[in-house]
Amino acid sequence: MGERMRKQDVTLKDISRVLNVSSTTVHRALYGKEGISSDLRKKIIQTANEMGYRLNYAASSMKRKTNRIAVILPTRKESGSMYFIHLWKGYRDYLSEISSLNIVADEFEVEEEEEQIQILKGIADNGGEAYQGILTFAYTRMPEVIVQYTRLTAKNIPVMVLDDQENDIEGLYSITPSSETLGNLCAEFLALTTSKAGTIIISGGRLNSKTHQEIKKNFQTYLHKVSSQIKVVETRPYVEKENITEVYQQFRQKFETISDIIGVFAISSRDNDELVRALTDTGCIGKFRVVGSDLYGKSAEYLKKGIFDAILYKSAYEKGCTATRILTDCMIKQIIPQKNTACPVNLIFKSNLSFYEDIINLQE
C-alpha cells in the first residue's frame, strides 16, 4: 500500500486519530447525529473529505427513520403546464434517483401565494417536527412568506426556494432566476438582429413579481447602453387571476398604433399564446423579431413555424433537479450549500431545438 493510505481504506478510526477525537464523535458528525458542536462537525466533515472517506448513505438510511420533505409548488394546471410542470418533473425525477436514501415527500400544489403562506405557517405552527426540509417557490416575496421562512429555519429546517435570491436568512437557500442574465440575453439578441433605432415591446409580466421586474430592468438597461434610439415600451403587468384576453388586447393595441416596432419579447410563457394571436390578427407575423418564453410543446411549434425567432429557456427542469439535490444533500450528508445557485439559461432557435426534445416531451 505504501506510505500513503489508499482513499478507499480510510475508516472512522483513521479520521479520529488525525483529529484526536473518538470514533463515536466522528460517526456523529458524518451521519448528522446530535451531541456535537457545529464547528467540530464542520472540521470533521472537511477532514473526512480531504482524506477521501466516502459515506455509505444508502446503508445508513436503512438504520434511521424516514426523512420527510414538504414540497410546495405552483399548480401544474393551465398556464402552469408551460413552466411549473417542469419544476415538478425535475424534483420528482431526482427524488426517484435517490429512492434508496429513505426520503419521502408530501406534495402541496398551490394556486396562489396565500395558499403557500398558510401551508408554511401550518408547518411552523406544528413545530416543524414533521419535516426535515422544505422545497418551495418564490411568488412575490410577501412579508408573510419571509416570516414563515424565518420561523422554519430557526427550527433548523433547511428551506430551498426556487426562482429567488436570498442572502439574509440563515438556513434559507435559493435557485436563482438569473434575472440579469435573462434580461441581458434577450436584449443582446434583439440588439444584434435588429436595427439600432425603433421600438421594442416587452410584456409587463406578473404584477409584483420580483423576477419579472428584474428581467425588465436589465433588458432595458442593456438596450439603452447599445443605442439611445431604441425605445422600450412595456405592456401593463397582469394579475394572476386576470382574464388572459387583456394581454392580447395590450399587444394588439401596441401593434396597431406603433409604426416603428423592431422586436417583441414575451417575458412570461403566460403571454405566448396571446402574443401569437395578436401577431396573427394584425398581420404582423414576420415583420419584426419575436422572442417567446419557456419551452413546451406549443412554444416549440411557434418556433418551428417561424412565428418566434427564439425562445428564452429558463431551465425549469434543471432547477427542480438541482434544488432537490442540494436540499437532500444538506439533510442527509450535512453538506452546507452556498446561499444561491444558478442553473444555465439559454436562447433556443430552430437550429438547436433538436437538443431539447427531451424537455419538450416531458410528461407527468
257: domain CATH number is: 3.40.50.2300
Asked if residue 336 and residue 296 are part of one domain, the reply reads: no
Within 194-286, residue ranges assigned H as helices are 210-226, 245-257, 272-281
> Model pTM?
0.81
What DSSP state is assigned to residue 138? -
- What pLDDT is stored for residue 7 in this prediction? 47
Asked if residue 326 and residue 246 are part of one domain, the reply reads: no
Average pLDDT score over residue span 290-316:
96
Q: Please report whether residue 352 resides in a domain.
A: no
Beta bridge partners of 201: 233, 264
More confident residue, 129 or 320: 320
Minimal CA–CA distance to 276: which of 240, 246, 252, 304? 252
Tally the residues of the chain: 364
Asked if residue 150 and residue 82 are part of one domain, the reply reads: yes
Confidence of residue 3 (pLDDT cuts 50, 70, 90): very low
Average pLDDT score over residue span 325-353:
93
Minimal CA–CA distance to 250: which of 235, 264, 237? 235
How many folded domains does the chain comprise?
3
The three three-digit cell numbers of residue 141, written as one number: 416575496
Asked if residue 77 and residue 12 are part of one domain, the reply reads: no
Asked if residue 200 and residue 292 are part of one domain, the reply reads: yes
Q: Please report whether residue 355 resides in a domain.
A: no
Asked if residue 213 and residue 307 are part of one domain, the reply reads: yes
- What pLDDT is stored for residue 8 in this prediction? 52
CATH (domain of 22): 1.10.260.40
Percent of the chain scored above 90 by pLDDT? 65
Q: Please report whether residue 2 resides in a domain.
A: no
Q: Which range marks the domain in which residue 122 is found?
A: 67-177+316-343
- What pLDDT is stored for residue 58 in this prediction? 47
Q: Please report whether residue 359 resides in a domain.
A: no
Strands, sheet with 159-162, edge to edge from the N-terminal-most edge strand: 103-110, 67-74, 133-137, 159-162, 172-175, 340-341
Asked if residue 294 and residue 193 are part of one domain, the reply reads: yes
- Cβ neighbours, 10 Å, residue 337: 15
Asked if residue 274 and residue 251 are part of one domain, the reply reads: yes
Cβ–Cβ under 8 Å, residues 207 and 245? no
Q: Please report whether residue 220 resides in a domain.
A: yes
Q: How confident is the model over 197-217, as pLDDT tens digits?
A: 999 999 998 888 889 999 999
d(CA 265, CA 41): 49
Q: Please report whether residue 286 resides in a domain.
A: yes
Q: How confident is the model over 41-91, as pLDDT tens digits?
A: 888 888 888 888 766 554 454 445 788 999 999 998 876 688 999 999 999
Q: How confident is the model over 84-143, as pLDDT tens digits?
A: 999 999 999 999 998 888 899 999 999 889 999 999 999 999 887 889 999 999 988 889
- What pLDDT is stored for residue 24 in this prediction? 81
d(CA 293, CA 299): 8
d(CA 66, CA 276): 48
Q: How confident is the model over 136-190, as pLDDT tens digits?
A: 999 888 899 999 999 999 999 999 999 998 778 999 999 999 999 999 999 999 9
Beta strand segments in 217-345, E: 230-234, 261-265, 289-293, 310-313, 340-341
Asked if residue 211 and residue 230 are part of one domain, the reply reads: yes
Cβ–Cβ under 8 Å, residues 140 and 175? no
Q: Is 203 left (phi over 0), alpha (psi -120 to 50) or beta?
A: beta
Q: Please report whether residue 18 resides in a domain.
A: yes
Asked if residue 108 and residue 14 are part of one domain, the reply reads: no
Q: How confident is the model over 241-269, as pLDDT tens digits?
A: 666 788 999 999 999 999 999 999 999 99
Cβ–Cβ under 8 Å, residues 210 and 267? no
Minimal CA–CA distance to 247: which of 256, 237, 233, 257? 237
CA 110 to chain centroid, in Å, comes to: 16
Cβ–Cβ under 8 Å, residues 149 and 173? no
Minimum mean pLDDT range among 8-12, 142-146, 323-327: 8-12
Q: Please report whether residue 15 resides in a domain.
A: yes
Q: Which of 1-15, 120-134, 229-243, 311-325 has the highest mean pLDDT?
A: 311-325
208 Cβ contact partners less than 8 Å away, ≥ 6 residues apart:
140, 237
Cβ–Cβ under 8 Å, residues 210 and 138? yes
